[in-house]
Amino acid sequence: MPTLYEPAQFGKIEVKNRIFLAPLTRNRSKPDFSPSDLAPEYYSQRASGGLLITEASQISPEGIGYINTPGIYNEAQVAGWKKVTDAVHAKGGKIFIQLWHVGRISHTSLLPNGQAPLAPSALRAKSQTFVGDAGMVDVSEPKAMSLEDIARTIADYKHAAECAKKAGFDGVEIHAANGYLIDQFLMDGSNQRTDQYGGPIENRFRFLREVLNMVLSVWDAGEVGIRLSPTGKFNDMSDTKRLSTFSYVVEQLNAFNLAYLHFVETFPGMQNTDEEQNIIEALIKKWTGFYIANGGYEKENAESAIISGKADAIAFGRSFLANPDLPKRLELGVALNDPDQSTFYGGGAEGYTDYPTWDQKKAA
Ligand code: PHB
149-164 pLDDT, tens per residue?
999 999 999 999 999 9
Q: What is the pLDDT of residues 31-57, one digit of tens each?
A: 999 999 999 999 999 999 999 999 999
Give the pLDDT score at 336. Answer: 98
Q: How far is the CA of 205 from the centre of ligand 1 (A)?
A: 22
Catalytic residues, by residue number, are 180
Q: Does the structure show a pLDDT above 90 at 271?
A: no
Q: Does the structure show a pLDDT above 90 at 325?
A: yes
Close Cβ partners of 31 (under 8 Å, ≥ 6 residues apart)? none
Give the pLDDT score at 258. Answer: 98
Q: What is the pLDDT of residues 340-364, one digit of tens each?
A: 999 999 999 999 999 999 999 999 8
Q: Which residues line ligand 1 (CB under 6 A)?
A: 25, 56, 66, 177-178
Give the pLDDT score at 202. Answer: 98
Counting ligand 1 atoms within 8 A of each CB, the residue from 173, 178, 270 with the most, and so the one to mutate, is 178
| Distance from C-alpha of 267 to C-alpha of 234, rounded to nearest angstrom | 8
Question: How many domains does the chain contain in total?
Answer: 1
Q: How far is the CA of 359 from the centre of ligand 1 (A)?
A: 31
Cβ proximity of 102 and 88 under 8 Å = no
Q: How far is the CA of 363 from the centre of ligand 1 (A)?
A: 35
Q: What is the pLDDT of residues 244-255, one digit of tens each?
A: 999 999 999 999
Q: How far is the CA of 246 from the centre of ligand 1 (A)?
A: 21
Give the pLDDT score at 295. Answer: 96
Q: How far is the CA of 208 from the centre of ligand 1 (A)?
A: 19
- Type of residue at 345: Y
Residue-wise over 324-349: b if at least 16 C-beta within 10 A, else e? bbbbbbbbeeeebbebeeebbbbeee
For residue 180, is it within any domain? yes
Residue of 313 and 268 predicted with greater confidence: 313
Indicate which residue's Cα is closest to atom 5 of ligand 1.
25
Indicate which residue's Cα is closest to atom 2 of ligand 1.
25
Indicate which residue's Cα is closest to atom 4 of ligand 1.
25
Per the prediction, the chain carries an average pLDDT of 97
| Distance from C-alpha of 248 to C-alpha of 251, rounded to nearest angstrom | 5
Q: Does the structure show a pLDDT above 90 at 332?
A: yes
Q: Does the structure show a pLDDT above 90 at 134?
A: no
For residue 1, is it within any domain? no
For residue 2, is it within any domain? no
Give the pLDDT score at 190. Answer: 98
Q: Angle of helix 147-166 relative to helix 206-215, nearest 10 degrees?
A: 30
Give the pLDDT score at 209. Answer: 98
Indicate which residue's Cα is closest to atom 7 of ligand 1.
178
Q: How far is the CA of 68 from the centre of ligand 1 (A)?
A: 13
Give the pLDDT score at 1. Answer: 82
* 130: containing domain: 8-363
- Report the candidate in 55, 70, 50 with the shortest Cα–Cα distance to residue 23: 55
CA-345 nearest atom, ligand 1: 2
Indicate which residue's Cα is closest to atom 1 of ligand 1.
25
For residue 3, is it within any domain? no
CA-227 nearest atom, ligand 1: 10
Give the pLDDT score at 228. Answer: 98
Residue of 97 and 134 predicted with greater confidence: 97
Give the pLDDT score at 233. Answer: 95
For residue 176, is it within any domain? yes
For residue 329, is it within any domain? yes
Give the pLDDT score at 22. Answer: 98
Domain containing residue 225: CATH number? 3.20.20.70
Percent of the chain with pLDDT over 70: 100
CA-178 nearest atom, ligand 1: 10
Indicate which residue's Cα is closest to atom 8 of ligand 1.
178
CA-27 nearest atom, ligand 1: 2
Confidence band for 12, pLDDT divided at 50, 70 and 90: confident
CA-69 nearest atom, ligand 1: 2
- The conformation of residue 73, written as its DSSP 8-state character, comes to S
